[in-house]
Structure 1
C-alpha cells in the first residue's frame, strides 16, 4: 500500500487515531483531519514526526480541500457520546449531513473510495434482537438522541445515493459499543464512566434498574473489521461489534472486581429513549469479511484500565 493516500476525518478522536495507527502500519500516507471539538492532539502526537503523516485542523462541515491524489477516505468526524451530542446538537447534525456531503463530493472529484462511520444508534431502541442490517430501526426523530440517530441515518442515505447515482465506491460500517485506550474519561459512555468512578473511589452510577444490555467490542477488533470492509467490494451497511451481551448491572459488578475497589452500584432514572438492548448480529461481517472479534472483554479491559489509571493519576 506504499504511496496510497488516505484521509481520516475525526483523526484525532478515539477511533480515528487508532485508524491512523493502523493505516500508518500498513504503509499508507495518512492525512488526519479534525477540528478538535471532541478529539485531542494527544492521541496522534506520536505520529506527528512521521513523514507519512499529516494533520489539518479543519471543520469538514464547512468545506474540505485537499491537493494531490487521494485513494481512500474514512469519515469518522462526529461527536459520538451522549454528553457530546446533547451539548452540541447542531454541530452533530451538520457533520452528519453537510460534512458527509462535502466528503462524498471530495471522493467523487478524487475518484477515491469512501467509508462512512454509522452506528448501532440507527436501530434506535430496537424491537428486534439481536439487530441485523435489514432491520430499519425504532427511532424517535424529535427526542434528545434524535440529533445523533438521524444524522447517522442521513449519512447512510446520502452515501447510498452517491453510490447508486454517481457510481461512487462507498462502504458503510455500523459500529456497536467500542472501548479501549484513548477514550475520554468524562464522555458519558458507560465504560469510561464506570472505570473513572471506580478509580476515584466513587460509587458506580447505573441508570434504570441495570437490566438494559450492551455488547462491548475492543478497539483493535473494530479497526480490523473496518479495514477489511474498506478493502472489500461490499457497498451495503455492515455491523461491526462484539455479540457478547452483558447487562449494565453485571458490567458494573465486573468493573468493581477488575479495579478491586469496594464501591457499590447506585441507581438513577433511565434517560429518555435509552436503548434497552444492544447486540449486533454479525453474520454479514463473518460471511463477507471473514471477520469476528478476537478479544474477550477481560483481555480488552486490561489495557483500557491501565490507560485510565494513568489518566486519573495525571488528573
Structure 2
C-alpha cells in the first residue's frame, strides 16, 4: 500500500482528502493539532486499519517512522476569523511548517503537494485570475498574515524543487464549500447558513457587488488528486469559474433555506477582494479537470449538513477558543 501523510487532517478539506485516499487504497497518516480542526471530522476513520492519526503541530520538528510516498500539506487556518485571531501561528504553519514538511519529503523521497490559495492574488487587478498573475497583496495589512504565508509557501516549495530536485505540486484553491465546514468561521457560506438557520438577517459587507466563485468539495478533491498524480510542478488553479455577487448569493441562501430574512449591509473589511474568479484553462488542459457539481446541487447538500447540527453548535456565539494552543 502506498502511504500518504495529510496535514490538517481534521479540517474541512483535510478530512475529505483522508476519505478519498482511503477509498483509493492508500494507507493514510493524518496529522493535526486541532487548532482549527475538529476530531469529529475524522472520528469515523479511527477504526479503519489503513488510517493512523498523529496529533502534532507541524511548525515543530516532524518525525514519521514509516516510508512515505506522498505528503499533502493542508495545515493552516483558512478563515479570516481564525487567521486574524492567531496571526503568528498562521505565519508559522505556512513558513516553518512548510519547511519542516519539505525536509521530511526530501528525507523520505516523497512527492509533496501544498495547499495554496486564491488569496495569493490579493485584491486582483486581473480578472479572471490566471496562474501567471503575480497578485495585488498588502503585505502589512491584516490579511497579509495569511496571504504572505501562502506566497512564501509557494516560493520555498519551488526552491526545494529547483535546488533539491524534490517532486512538488502546488494547488491554488478557490472558495470551496460543503459538509464539515465550521459554522460561524467567518467565511461567506457558513456565515450565511448560520444566520439563516438562526432566523437572523444576513450580513453583507460592502454593497454586495463583490464577487466569489464557489467550488463544491468533491470537485475540489478530485482536482487535487489529479494534480498530485500529474507531472506538472507549477501552480494550478482549482475552483469553479461560475461567478456570483455576494448580494445575489445572499438572496439565493434566503430562497434555499425558505426564510424571510432581510439583507443588512456593513463596512467592507480592509483589503477584502472585490473579485474572485479562477481561470481554469490550465487545469482543463493538463488534468482534464473541471467542476461538475453545480451550485444548486452543492448548496442543497451543504444546507442539509448544517440543518443536522445541534442547537449548541448553531447558537454558539463565540468562535473556537485558541488560548490553549497559542505559544508565547
TM-score (norm 2): 0.95
2:228 is matched with 230
SS in structure 1 at match of 2:29: strand
2:323 is matched with none
Q: CA deviation at 1:223?
A: 0.1
Query: 5+ residue gaps in structure 1?
Result: none
1:307 is matched with 305
Deviations 1:74-112 (A, max 9, x none): 000000000000000000000000000000000000000
In 1, distance between residues paired with 2:211 and 2:295?
14
Query: 5+ residue gaps in structure 2?
Result: 314-328
2:289 is equivalent to residue 291 of structure 1: yes
In 1, distance between residues paired with 2:184 and 2:63?
33
1:7 is matched with 5
In 1, distance between residues paired with 2:123 and 2:67?
41
In 1, distance between residues paired with 2:8 and 2:81?
17
1:56 is matched with 54
Does structure 2 conserve the Cα–Cα contact (< 8 Å) formed by 1:176 and 1:241? yes
In 2, distance between residues paired with 1:221 and 1:180?
10
In 2, distance between residues paired with 1:270 and 1:186?
18
Q: CA deviation at 1:302?
A: 1.1
Deviations 1:26-51 (A, max 9, x none): 00000000000000010001100011
In 2, distance between residues paired with 1:180 and 1:223?
11
In 1, distance between residues paired with 2:245 and 2:106?
43
Q: CA deviation at 1:312?
A: 4.5
1:30-69 matches, cutoff 5 A? 30-69=28-67
Does structure 2 conserve the Cα–Cα contact (< 8 Å) formed by 1:203 and 1:266? yes
SS in structure 2 at match of 1:206: strand
In 2, distance between residues paired with 1:313 and 1:60?
33
1:140-151 matches, cutoff 5 A? 140-151=138-149
Runs of 4+ residues over 2 Å off in structure 1: 312-315
Deviations 1:212-266 (A, max 9, x none): 0000000000000000000001000000000000000000000000000010100
- Picking from 208, 212, 215, the partner of 1:214 is 212
2:325 is matched with none
SS in structure 2 at match of 1:311: coil
1:209-288 matches, cutoff 5 A? 209-288=207-286
TM-score (norm 1): 0.99
1:177 is matched with 175
Q: CA deviation at 1:314?
A: 5.3
Number of residue pairs the alignment of both structures matches:
313
In 2, distance between residues paired with 1:234 and 1:314?
45
